[in-house]
């Protein structure tokens, strides 16, 4: 029987052809001026059927989230099932079909919708984010199909819509509107990593955005005694909120930085003239908090800060939370983490490193549902950049790692 390495090398042109096909069909969300993923899903489904992903017990299913903003009226996701020797615990690989817009086309050296192969790289929008993960998963599964093999556990490939704009019509919709997932499923998301293929993301910081509105009393710049300076109070409050880093002060080496951050960011316009003391002021905070803390406890301290500023400056403070999310970490001892680390060791010859991140991924949605998930791939971090590329050897190596991952 042909080895996984030789199988993938012999299919290099097929891998490039799939990347070329997928790149030629822009799958951009309506938020980015696009028409969704339907045409790309159609092409991918046809490719999968041509490669026998719907034969010998394997199946292809299509799930469609309603979305009236796109011409098809739906945002499709595809689920491919490869039956394993054991179905009691399934392995999922989740990659997304949608891509971001090209940005300024003048910054591209080639047509972003036409793959160009050069010096071992493929250039085009989406080739790394996230078609590298999609293609590596597809060809890892194809190895089992073409060789008449069964993976150790049932394998599920999930090619989702709407990852780039929050997953409302993709993974989140599937979690809440289908019975696809089981609590003991193992989920790998090949949509983040490093150039060595070493880091496995198992946790995210809790996210809290605050939009704070301070209301005082407008007055002349020469008469602060007759008003209540909302700008001054807002500055004081932003410093108090930043000071929560000293209250929620635990350290966790899994993350970089290894502490919770409370950072003032955007500030909205208040008055038009220098000699006006503003009666209203609005600013925002971006807070990334270690998962050992509950957001309810953080918000209790936020409320205390607001009350203190109200009392000290004679103002009224209101705030909203435009984004708020928290999720537990996947334990380093979880089967999905340990099996992936073992596969990386065997294929890449390196010891995996478990990390947490400050940003957000769809993995957090799964962890909130009690499903262990990890994020991993071998990437040059080209996501959303002009002249995006993927390294062909990285894609092949990732597919080889997934073949090993499916075997255990």
Residues with a catalytic annotation lie at 98, 163
The answer to whether 291 and 325 are in contact (CB under 8 A) is no
The answer to whether 22 and 98 are in contact (CB under 8 A) is no
Order of strands across the sheet that contains 199-204 = 59-66, 74-82, 153-160, 86-96, 186-189, 373-375, 199-204, 353-357
Let me know the angle formed at the C-alpha of 78 by 74 and 79, rounded to the nearest 5 degrees.
140
User: How far is residue 287's CA from residue 208's CA, in Å, rounded to a whole number?
Assistant: 5
User: How far is residue 350's CA from residue 20's CA, in Å, rounded to a whole number?
Assistant: 31
Pick the closest to residue 284 from 245, 323, 335 (CA basis).
Answer: 323
Q: Among all chains, which residue has been given the structure tokens 């979305």?
A: 67
Chain centre distance of CA 344? 21
Q: What is the DSSP string of 238-265?
A: HHHHHGGGGTS----TTSSSSS-EEEEE
Strands (E), 83-226: 86-96, 116-118, 121-123, 153-160, 186-189, 199-204, 206-215, 219-220
Q: What is the DSSP string of 45-106?
A: HHHHHHTTTTSTT-EEEEEEEE-TTSTTSEEEEEEEEE--SEEEEEEEEEEE--------GG
Measuring CA to CA, how many Å separate 53 from each of 9, 21, 236, 278, 396?
20, 18, 61, 64, 20
């Amino acid at each position: 029987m042909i080895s996984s390495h030789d199988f993938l090398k012999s299919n290099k042109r097929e891998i490039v052809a799939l990347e070329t096909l997928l790149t030629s069909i822009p799958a951009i969300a309506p938020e980015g001026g696009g028409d969704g993923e339907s045409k790309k899903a159609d092409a991918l489904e046809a490719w999968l059927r041509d490669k026998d992903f719907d034969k010998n017990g394997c199946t292809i299913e299509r799930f469609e989230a309603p979305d009236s903003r796109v011409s098809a009226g739906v945002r499709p996701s595809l689920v491919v099932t490869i039956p394993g020797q054991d179905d009691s615990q399934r392995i999922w690989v989740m990659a997304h079909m949608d891509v971001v817009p090209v940005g300024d086309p003048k910054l591209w050296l080639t047509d972003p919708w036409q793959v160009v192969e050069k010096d071992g790289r493929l250039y085009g929008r989406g080739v790394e984010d996230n078609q590298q993960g999609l293609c590596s998963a597809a060809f890892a599964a194809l190895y089992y199909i073409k060789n008449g093999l069964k993976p150790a556990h049932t394998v599920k490939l999930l090619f989702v819509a709407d990852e780039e704009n929050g997953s409302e019509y993709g993974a989140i919709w599937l979690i809440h509107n289908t019975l696809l997932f089981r609590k003991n499923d193992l989920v790998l998301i090949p949509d983040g990593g490093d150039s060595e293929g070493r880091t496995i993301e198992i946790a995210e910081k809790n996210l809290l955005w605050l939009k704070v509105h301070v209301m005082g009393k407008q007055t002349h710049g020469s008469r602060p005694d007759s008003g209540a300076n909302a700008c001054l109070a807002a500055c004081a409050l932003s410093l108090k909120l930043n000071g929560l880093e000293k209250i929620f002060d635990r350290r966790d080496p899994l993350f970089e930085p290894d502490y919770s951050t409370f950072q003032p960011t955007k500030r909205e316009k208040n008055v038009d003239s220098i000699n006006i003391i503003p009666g209203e002021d609005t600013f925002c905070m971006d807070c990334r908090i270690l998962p050992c803390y509950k957001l309810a406890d953080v918000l209790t301290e936020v409320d205390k800060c607001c009350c203190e500023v109200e009392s000290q400056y004679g103002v009224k403070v209101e705030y909203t939370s435009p984004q708020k999310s928290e999720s537990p970490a996947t334990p380093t001892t979880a089967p999905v983490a340990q099996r992936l680390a073992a596969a990386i060791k065997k294929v890449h010859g390196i010891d995996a490193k478990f990390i947490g991140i400050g940003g957000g991924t769809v993995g957090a949605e799964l962890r909130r549902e009690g499903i262990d998930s990890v994020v991993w791939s071998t990437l040059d971090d080209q996501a959303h950049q002009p002249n995006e590329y993927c390294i062909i050897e990285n894609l092949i190596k990732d597919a080889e790692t997934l073949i090993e991952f499916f075997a255990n």
